Structure 1
């Protein structure tokens, strides 16, 4: 696994990502936090026109800390340490904008995706309110190196975790955890959702599973939306194969519940939300492991 120097302190070495493993892997779940990394390479910061606060606007800030205790439920947690602005593993491997790079890219890149057009490809051009990241074009070799050193090992690890779970239990449930900015109000001026559950409009997991997730959170008093405006990204779409017994569910958390988005710091609601998330995820794990088999879920 690639290590790289971070800005956490002089000489610090941190892994690009980590797996928090339970003492006993006792439930058919894998939890994933791909966008909460906050270890910024000094070389990356030097290549950016943004300051250290601006560049953090694309983080799903502190989500890894909100869910870190779920390993005690008997499931592994895969967490990114690299920042989303450096490379985004919730994209195809080669969603790249040729205009960002100096040099030759492979012919198989996907330069026509809507995400690339919006500046949010595998290597993003912008963060936050359309702030440009880079001073100049990136050497193509550097961009491809990020994919080889970070993107591919991350997905190999996630795939391996899911395969191990399915081999052991005959069923695998991936919970892909994210956060969303509170400023995104919907067009109908309805109250902003506290959570958005995404199942790719019923294609990435059992309808029963997503319905349970929505119901549990609503019963806790939260305002919950399903698939709108976030139905799930590449990870949910790519790994969710309910007909094969692999279910992928995306959970988006409103940042206003737990952090000051301007100061980029947790606020007093952080601990209460962390407690509620554990209650929610504990109940979801119990409902799946105690009641449903692979065949039951796949038939939904």
Structure 2
């Protein structure tokens, strides 16, 4: 685990441009902290256990597919890039907000009286959240202008068992399309078929995780922008307890399926565009 504390808002994201109309958004892998957040975190929050650990490494293969990759650099404990700027809840069940005051398991994120001030949080919104979303918008617009359509894949991971958020153990792959509103039905059906053609990993479409703010805000199939979220259970590529070590052996098996899903999205987009379906 590597934590970085910065006294000024540094680069809020890292972006790698690609050559095909597929943008992979990775909003929750960051571990950068501001001094105020770092000094205020509770003992329970210090391990940053709610991080989407190693997701950039897991999806590094996507560069060879030509995908553009956008990775948030700051911890979700500073500001959550996958929540709306007005902090309206996305789920009726237990969840966390734009500025998480509890961990996924319900414990407090900050020590009493140590949360960042409203003024600091406005700074985080202006200098971390806004640039990330402006980059999504500009990249999707560029893709649409160049190719006629754009594909957005929002990549996430989570511990496989979190009783506060869901019962039992999550399926291995949790695809979300905002209940069908964020992409063409043909795209989600294709992704489901790929999952059904293998037996190693379980999957569900629009189960507990239907897609967060990014999927819901930018998935506009009527405008030829198709968005899908994938929430992976971490048990399939890493250790879910500290120090949250990456497992190359586990990851390589999962990457076979992930390559099929992302490659399938790219091929689907090309075929649909030729047929005038996007």
TM range (shorter): 0.7 to 0.9
1:107 maps to what in 2?
none
Contact 1:85–1:127 (CA under 8 A) maintained in structure 2: no
2:272 corresponds to which of 275, 287, 292 = 292
In structure 2, runs of 5+ residues without a counterpart are: none
Q: Secondary structure at the match of 1:49?
A: coil
Change (3 A) 1:52 1:138: closer
1:220 and 1:177 map into 2 onto residues whose CA distance is 20
Residue 153 in 1 paired to residue 131 in 2? Answer: yes
Name the counterpart of 1:122: 98
What residue number does 1:19 align with? 15
In the TM superposition, residue 184 of structure 1 has moved relative to its aligned partner by 4.7
Q: Which runs of 5+ in 1 are unaligned?
A: 1-5, 96-109
Find the partner of 2:21 among 18, 28, 39: 28
If the length of structure 2 is used for normalisation, what is the TM-score? Answer: 0.87
Residue correspondence of structure 1 range 1-300 to structure 2 within 5 A: 7-8=3-4, 15-22=11-18, 25=19, 27-50=20-43, 53-54=46-47, 56-95=48-87, 110=88, 113=89, 118=94, 120-135=96-111, 136=113, 137-184=115-162, 192-221=170-199, 222-263=201-242, 264-267=244-247, 268-289=249-270, 291-293=271-273, 296-298=276-278
- Conserved? CA contact 1:85–1:123, under 8 Å: yes
Q: CA deviation at 1:138?
A: 2.7
Q: Report the number of matched residues.
A: 270
CA RMSD, Structure 1 to Structure 2 (Å) = 2.7
> Stretches of 4+ moved more than 3 A in 1?
6-14, 51-54, 113-119, 184-187, 294-298
What's the TM-score, normalizing by structure 1?
0.81
C-alpha contact (below 8 Å) 1:16/1:81 kept by paired residues? yes
